[in-house]
Every structure is written in C-alpha cells, then in structure tokens.
Amino acid sequence: MSGIYDKNRPGALFPSADPALAKGLGQLPELLRVILPMKEKHRKLLATGVRRLSGFLTTERDNLPPDYMTRPEYLAAYLHYFMPWNIYRQARLLQGLDFSLKPGSTILDFGCGPLTFLQAMWLTRPHMHGHQYQYVGFDRSEPALKAGQKIFMGLAGEEGNGWKIQTEKNLGAARKSGPADMIVAGNFINELNAPRSAPGEEVSAEDVLLQRWSNLLKPDAAILVIEPGTRSSSKQLVRLRQSALATGWKVVAPCPHAGECAMPGNRGGAWCHFNFSPVDIPEWLFKFSRKVKLPKERASLSFLLLTRGDTPPIKTATPPRPNKGEGVVRVISETFDLPADQMGRYGCSDRGLVLLQSPKNKMAGPQPGDLLRVTWPSKIQKDGKSKAIIVPSTSGGYKGTEE
C-alpha cells in the first residue's frame, strides 16, 4: 500500500498535503524565474493574462484559442497560476490512491500541458524515485512540453534520471509507445473535439475515446481522468463511466458501486464533484492568487478511476463488505445547513443519493471523498427536494470503514 492514508479517515480521497508536496510547490516560483525569464513589463502583464485565460477556460470556453498554450502570454499565465493549482489538486487526489505501478511501467499522459501530472506524481510518490519508469506526455504545445521537462528536472534533480521522460506533439504517436500500464488525462477531455464514430454507428464520443485508449493498454491497466469540478465535465465523466462499465472496465473511484450514477448532473440536480479546502497551499500561491484577483476558497475537481485485470496498477481502499443492513457511502459534498439545527452532506451509494444528516456541530466530521459504512434506517425516508435517502447519524448512524 502506498497512498498517504489518514488512519482516522480510511478510504479518504484527499489527504492534506504531505511535506514533500508542500516543498515542491514552494520551489516553483524560483524554478519559473530560471525557466521562463520575463522582462519586467511582461511580468506586470501576468495578472491580466491569468484573468483572461481563466475566462477562456471557464465562462468563455467557445473563444479559447486552440493554440493558447503556445502563446507566450497564456503559457506564462498557465505556468504561474493554473499549473501550480493543478499540481496541488492532482497531488491531493494522488495522495489518497493506492498506486502500485511496478518499476518498468509506462504511463501515457494525454493533454499533459507542462507535464502537470508528472510533477504531481513525483512529489507524491517518493517510493517510485530511484526506479525505472517510462512517462510519455502528449500535447500539441511544444513550448508547454519543453517548460514541463525543465520543471521536472528542477523538481527531481539527478534522482529523476531513472524516469525516462518523452514528449510528443501528436496524439496519434501513442500507438508507437507500446502497450502501456496506465493512461492519464488531466483537464483535457473537455478540450478534445469529440472523436468521430463510423457513419451509422450508435456510439458516443466517450465510447470511441475509451476504445482508442483501451487499445493502447496492457490487459492489466488503469485509466485516470481528472477534470474540473463543473457540471459539464462531471456529465462527461458519467458518459465515460457508462462506456467503461459496458466494456468490462471496473469503476474503482469515486463510485462505491457499479449501478446507475446517483449524481448525473441532470438539470437542477447535483453533479458528482469534490471540493476541499486548500489551507495547505504555499504562501506564495495564496498571495499570487489574491494579487491576480482569483483567490480560491475551495479547490475543486471531478474524476474517474478505471481499472481492468486482476492486478491493476492503481487502487483505492476497497470498501469492506457491509454487514446485513449496512451500506457503503462515498461522501461527495461539504456540509450544508438543514432546518432544526441539523446539517447535511450528500453521499453516493448503491441505493442512490444519500443525505447524511447530523446535529449541527463544530467537529470536522466526514470530509468529501471519505468512505463510510452506514446503517440503513429501518424505515427509509427521502428528502423532499433531492429525493436522497435520509441517513440520520442518530439511527445507528455512520462510521469510518475501518471499524
């Protein structure tokens, strides 16, 4: 087992930043000063670039220039703001996953940008340092790939020499990389033009994408897709999940079951995504985010982890088989107030959406991403608004999965 598990929160998906992660994030400003020297007048324009790119990546998606990562203004903005936040988000998730890639394994990272996932992996997987791995990052932006390689060398130093890092501009070149152990895509599939199916075929864009990826992987393999925590990205992952379940892939996380998605993000309904407090980001990122007027009170993401085969290279804590009358629930939302001095959190179970209800208190309690074992109430009641099954903490309640 190699995730950074918190004993009090077994199965937790987003443990707080480990010191190695905090140290690596702290090194970024100095590394960027060396890798991307900027004239003072360009440095002054950094905040404007970050805000413009933020608009393109969120509300004005249709206007996102396809080559944004090759334009100096936006590449600089990405490296100083979006990449550090994405390393942080992806690393917090990685810390909660049991990653057992054997030495010699190959990872393909599609839409890797400045090798964001590679940096997050290096900073959270010290047990992989000193072993041989092959990583191939694919991105149409050559300058982003080059910057990413330099950042990796800066973070990893000579210890990183055991990892063979290759980059490719053309996604089609993945066929030449041999069957891989794992495919990763971070903040990428929402930018990808939907792959076309053959005329007359009744398949979704996600079916086509998954088929392509499946053909690039070994029989025992994993796919990890990490996307923004938006409704549209989450819905895209729900479609990918459907394609995966229909073609023999196992959905390992975040779903605690293989049934119908309890949070499909239909109009007005909740969508599956996770928010967590970024209290452990480095001081410089906190200050820079405020300076560019894009501070974050919450880091947010949606994701899907798929595996196939008996010995896949990546796992999460397996939910223990619940006793009779019990179920396993993944906590999805943060807390919100309910009437009568109660508070609630939404969770996902094989019975559908769950509303975990407890008296309002200041104790931290279960966090988004935690796996809980719940006792189903003898008489099932549903919340009028969300139609979630109400599980009060007082009726047998819920507990961490270790018990």
Ligand X SMILES: C[S@@+](CC[C@H](N)C(=O)[O-])C[C@H]1O[C@@H](n2cnc3c(N)ncnc32)[C@H](O)[C@@H]1O
Q: Helix, strand, or coil here: 249?
A: coil
Give the binding range for ligand X (CB under 6 A) out of 7-15, 109-117, 249-257, 376-384: 109-117
Q: Which is nearer to ligand X, 24 or 347 (CB)?
A: 24
User: What is the smallest separation between the CB atom of 174 and ligand X, expressed in angstroms?
Assistant: 11
Q: Which is nearer to ligand X, 69 or 180 (CB)?
A: 69
User: What is the smallest separation between the CB atom of 309 and ligand X, expressed in angstroms?
Assistant: 25
Closest C-alpha to 222, from 269, 184, 263, 276: 184
User: What is the smallest separation between the CB atom of 202 and ligand X, expressed in angstroms?
Assistant: 25
Q: Which is nearer to ligand X, 66 or 130 (CB)?
A: 66
Q: What does DSSP assign to residue 26?
A: H
Q: Which is nearer to ligand X, 304 or 374 (CB)?
A: 304
- Contacts of ligand X in 118-157 (CB under 6 A): 138-141, 144
Kindly report the CA angle at 56 between 230 and 122, in degrees rounded to 5?
65
Half-sphere exposure of 397 (CA within 13 A, CB side): 9
Residue 346 parent element (H or E): strand 342-349
Q: Does 86 bind ligand X (CB under 6 A)?
A: yes
Distance CA 196, CA 216 (A): 18
Q: Does 224 bind ligand X (CB under 6 A)?
A: no
Q: Does 208 bind ligand X (CB under 6 A)?
A: no
Q: Copy the structure tokens of residue 328.
A: 């396993």
Residue 72 parent element (H or E): helix 72-77
- Contacts of ligand X in 162-191 (CB under 6 A): 171, 186-188, 191
Strands 326-331 and 371-375, bridge-based pairing: antiparallel
Q: Which is nearer to ligand X, 52 or 250 (CB)?
A: 52
Is residue 175 exposed (0-12), middle (13-18) or buried (19+ Cβ within 10 Å)?
Answer: exposed
Please identify which residue in 28, 77, 83, 329 interacts with ligand X, judged by CB under 6 A: 83
Q: What is the dihedral of CA 220, 210, 226, 217, to 10 degrees?
A: 30
User: What is the smallest separation between the CB atom of 16 and ligand X, expressed in angstroms?
Assistant: 21
Provide the binding-site residues for ligand X, judged by CB under 6 A.
Answer: 69, 83, 86, 111-113, 116, 138-141, 144, 171, 186-188, 191-192
